Amino acid sequence: MSDLDKPPARPRANAPVEIFTDGACRGNPGPGGWAALLRFRDTEKLVNGAARETTNNRMELQAAIEGLRQLKRPSRVVLTTDSEYLRKGILGWVAKWKCNGWLTAQKKPVKNRDLWETLDELVVNHEIEWCWVKGHSGHPENERVDQAANDAIDEQLGSEL
């Protein structure tokens, strides 16, 4: 049987991978950073990065993309974000945009289409529960990824001096 004939891989029936994401921007647009904290049982991995000129929404999307890119196999995921733009977009808007040729209800091109398309390709490999948490509300993991996203901005700005 060729790979094309095989049924799609199913998520493993074990504990979910938890992913906590955040994006940050100094100015909007301006220098930005993103971070994702992955946790599987008692193992954690933190990834982060920065962009010279970007927006907060782009960094929120990039955080989710980079978090999902860390997964090596189809997984059950609980992804927690403080971005309603990210959560509402992936749970509803993307499907509508695709049907409308990547145009909004106002017939304007979708902003950040490149990142939405990348995220849309990544999510099909996983069973994802999308959770929202209020930013800067003391949620420990959200505070960690917020700090890591800002650290990435600081590192980028420091390397440019």
Any idea which residues carry the catalytic annotation? 22-23, 60, 82, 136, 146
The SS3 call for residue 136 is: coil
User: Can you list the positions of beta strands (E) in 92-143?
Assistant: 127-132
Tokens of 147: 């700090």
Angle at 102 between CA 98 and CA 107, to 5 degrees: 125
Q: How many CA atoms lie within 13 A of 38 on its CB side?
A: 19
**Residue 157 CB coordination number (10 Å):** 14
Assign 3-state DSSP to the chain and report helix, strand, coil percentages, each to 5: 40, 30, 30
CA 47 to chain centre: 12
Give strand pairing partners of 135.
Answer: none
